[in-house]
Amino acid sequence: MSADPMSHAASRAAHRRDLAVRAAVRSGLLGDDHAPVVALLDTASVREAARELHAAFREVAAPDQHVLHTFAVKAASLVPVLRLLAAEGLGCEVASPGELALARAAGVEAARTVLDSPAKTRTELREALAAGVALNADNPGELARLDALVPCSGSAPQVGLRVNPQVGAGAIGAMSTATATSKFGFPLRDPGAREALVRAYRERPWLTRLHAHVGSQGIPLELMAEGVRVVHALAEEVNAAAGRRQIDTLDLGGGLPVNFASDETSPSYATYARLLADTVPGLFDGSYHLVTEFGRSLLAKAGTVVARVEYAKSAGGRHIAVTHAGAQLAVRTVFAPDAWPLRVAAYDPKGHPKTGAPVVQDVAGPCCFAGDLVARERPLPLLEEGDHTALLDTGAYYFSTPFAYNSLPRPGVYGFTLTEDETVSFTTVREPQSLASIVTDSGAAHADALLDA
């Protein structure tokens, strides 16, 4: 069986990555004892993904239909990333005061920000309303709080309800938000739920939006589109009952899955947008403003974690490479390896792709627990002390969301671009965390606190 030839875009991206790894090693960005692991972000790849998203919806939307693409900040909570995406015309989807602060720090206006969280406090709700941030209420308790807050909020509130269309699960249970008992949103198919939702809108003329997010990674496109079909039908029903276009904005969520098995970007935004147009013909007739909230699919392919192999050893006949990238950067892969496999690429001490016959080996991280493996029994050129490993497709939900186990520092994140002659230049996105900062974050200012108590 021969593999499909790589597309031009995929082989270009892989080539840029190889050049960036070599440059990171050669320039010393990676390598001295204080930086045994770094994260690299391919700026061109992020821009390309944003442009493909815009183009995909432009292709199917009505000519003057308003479509706001927001970026799910949790996927890469880094201010320069948010600003790059804002420069590419994206807003932000936020789910905590911290994420909202990051969006603001990146200069993203309130009118281009959507707040979705299942646990918004009264203060968060009040501040979002006052600022003009759109928000989607998750449950009846939150709606009751809004009943009290909206009348005194002054400006025109941008409020919707998040519904759970209950269309079912995808391949990863923890990522499936549209199961019958999901913790998110107003369930739509419970007995009496649909009538109650229509009534909730009829009683609140200020409810003008409707939101669903069917899940993240592992959700088949058809299921995502079915969720959108159900949401669109509900909006039509509410508007018919109201006798006016009370719901004017549909927020379709994110969730486009990422291919972690090769350099190809699939499925594409274009495929999904065409499927939406086929499944929900009314969606793109121009009668609704649309919002999307993609995260992983915008950033995953652009990111690479590069780590030094500190030692190579063997145990029980198994080769084991002990590297500096493990659970602190690849939490999901380490704790749920079957759901979140990552490709690992091998590079030599100078940062050139390593060749040699594949040898089955484990690729371990630096954390002090036995399960800290980013790959198990993986055939790779035999890794040796001083080599490097690269964890591919880690631009979303990996290095931007570190785990502070063993007081390991957050690694530096560097954006890279290539000149015409393929010279790589790096720019700092996030400094590596210093030991002083780890100590400060760990209560150093209160060192005597427990003695005095």
Q: Which residues bind ligand PLP (CB under 6 A)?
A: 72, 74-75, 93, 116, 213, 216-217, 253-256, 293-297
List the one residue out of 18, 42, 40 whose CA is nearest residue 348. Answer: 18
Residue facing ligand PLP at closest CB distance: 295
Packing angle, helices 79-87 and 43-60, rounded to 10: 40
Q: Which is nearer to ligand PLP, 301 or 388 (CB)?
A: 301
Q: In the complex, what is the shortest distance from the CB of residue 397 to ligand PLP, in angstroms, rounded to a whole number? A: 7
Q: Which is nearer to ligand PLP, 20 or 175 (CB)?
A: 175
Q: Which is nearer to ligand PLP, 261 or 360 (CB)?
A: 261
Q: In the complex, what is the shortest distance from the CB of residue 50 to ligand PLP, in angstroms, rounded to a whole number? A: 13
Q: Which is nearer to ligand PLP, 217 or 323 (CB)?
A: 217
Q: Which is nearer to ligand PLP, 129 or 256 (CB)?
A: 256
Q: Within 10 A of 39 (CB to CB), how many other CB atoms are there?
A: 30
Q: Say how far residue 327 (Cα) sits from the centre of its chain.
A: 18
Identify the three-state secondary structure at position 20.
helix
Q: Which is nearer to ligand PLP, 184 or 426 (CB)?
A: 184
Strands 303-315 vs 37-42: parallel, antiparallel or unpaired: antiparallel
List the one residue out of 112, 121, 170 whose CA is nearest residue 146. Answer: 121
Q: In the complex, what is the shortest distance from the CB of residue 69 to ligand PLP, in angstroms, rounded to a whole number? A: 11
Q: In the complex, what is the shortest distance from the CB of residue 25 to ligand PLP, in angstroms, rounded to a whole number? A: 31
Q: Which is nearer to ligand PLP, 71 or 426 (CB)?
A: 71
Q: In the complex, what is the shortest distance from the CB of residue 116 to ligand PLP, in angstroms, rounded to a whole number? A: 4
Q: In the complex, what is the shortest distance from the CB of residue 206 to ligand PLP, in angstroms, rounded to a whole number? A: 21
Report how far residue 181's alpha carbon sits from residue 169's, in angstroms, rounded to the nearest whole number. Answer: 10
Count of residues making up the chain: 453
Q: Which is nearer to ligand PLP, 301 or 324 (CB)?
A: 301
- Computed on alpha carbons and rounded to an integer, the radius of gyration of the chain in Å comes to 24
> Which pair of structure tokens corresponds to residue 47?
């821009």
In the block, tokens 């690299």 appear at 40
- Give DSSP secondary structure letters for 181-200: T-SSSEESSSTTHHHHHHHH
- Cα→Cα distances 379→11, 325, 326, 329, 364, Å: 22, 18, 18, 22, 14
Q: In the complex, what is the shortest distance from the CB of residue 279 to ligand PLP, in angstroms, rounded to a whole number? A: 18
Cβ–Cβ under 8 Å, residues 346 and 381: yes
Q: Which is nearer to ligand PLP, 91 or 254 (CB)?
A: 254
Asked if residue 267 has a cis previous peptide bond (ω within 30° of 0), the answer is: yes
Q: In the complex, what is the shortest distance from the CB of residue 208 to ligand PLP, in angstroms, rounded to a whole number? A: 18
Q: Within 10 A of 372 (CB to CB), how many other CB atoms are there?
A: 21
Report how far residue 51's alpha carbon sits from residue 149's, in angstroms, rounded to the nearest whole number. Answer: 38
Cβ–Cβ under 8 Å, residues 37 and 305: yes
Q: In the complex, what is the shortest distance from the CB of residue 136 to ligand PLP, in angstroms, rounded to a whole number? A: 8
Identify the three-state secondary structure at position 72.
strand
Q: Which is nearer to ligand PLP, 266 or 407 (CB)?
A: 266
- Cα→Cα distances 78→53, 176, 379, Å: 20, 25, 34
Q: In the complex, what is the shortest distance from the CB of residue 80 to ligand PLP, in angstroms, rounded to a whole number? A: 19
